[in-house]
Chains A and B, each alone.
Chain A
Amino acid sequence: GESVGLHLPTLSVQEGDNSIINCAYSNSASDYFIWYKQESGKGPQFIIDIRSNMDKRQGQRVTVLLNKTVKHLSLQIAATQPGDSAVYFCAENMGNTDKLIFGTGTRLQVFP
């Protein structure tokens, strides 16, 4: 089916370092992108979103970058903490269909 990001890589970072999680999306007509965090046994939790008319948006310790030219989205987490360990998913809103399509995610492991 439709998908954003085809792999489930694992990113291991040391506590206090910055993390960068990447995502490639498929539909150039998508106008809204979201990052979710999913901890084990829980549903995905909204982190941050960005509209297609922006290329950067910052939240608390997180920054999302959007490069529409290459259809690439990234999530930067500053000063990564053990509580950031989770699977991170990017999702795109498929423009005129209003569907939210998710990728397979990236597992972030934070070690002391």
Chain B
Amino acid sequence: GAGVSQSPSNKVTEKGKDVELRCDPISGHTALYWYRQSLGQGLEFLIYFQGNSAPDKSGLPSDRFSAERTGGSVSTLTIQRTQQEDSAVYLCASSLVPGGVEAFFGQGTRLTVV
């Protein structure tokens, strides 16, 4: 596709359930980022994938959060045993080269934990 695609666009889940959020980056982009944005706040870095290198997971807030990127393309962010404080918009971005040069964002997934 022409841009970064995220699905679902909205997700409502019950506390304690697991959720999977998907990101389809722009074709050929080697760098992929996940961010979390709470209402009215900035973007909190979660994880960064670059090519075949080990991902930078330093932003994941707890061991309930994990992410993978299969075949250097699609990425899935998984949140286990969701909590209400996990409610936020989860944004994915990709860029052609390392370092976030002209990183393009998807529309995000709005997660609501009830």
**Interface of A with B (CB < 8 Å)?**
1-3, 5, 8, 31-32, 34, 36, 41-46, 49, 89, 91, 93, 97-105
- What's the A-B contact tally at a CB cutoff of 8 Å? 75
A44 to B106, CA, bound (A): 8
Across-interface contacts of B42 in A (CB, < 8 A)? 3, 5, 8, 89, 102-105
Which of B43, B101, B107: most chain A CB closer than 10 A?
B43
In the assembled complex, the CB of A100 is this many whole angstroms from the nearest CB of chain B, namely 4
- B100–A100 touching, CB < 8 Å: yes
Residue of A nearest to B105 (CB): A43
Closest to B61 in A: A1
Q: How many residues of B contact A (CB 8 A)?
A: 28
Q: Are A99 and B56 in contact (CB under 8 A)?
A: yes
Is A44 touching B100 in the complex (CB atoms < 8 A)?
no
Query: Can you list 15 A-B contacts (CB < 8 A)?
Result: A1-B59, A2-B45, A8-B40, A8-B42, A32-B101, A43-B107, A43-B108, A44-B43, A46-B104, A49-B102, A89-B42, A93-B99, A97-B56, A100-B33, A103-B42
Asked if B41 is at the interface (CB within 8 A of a chain A CB), the reply is yes
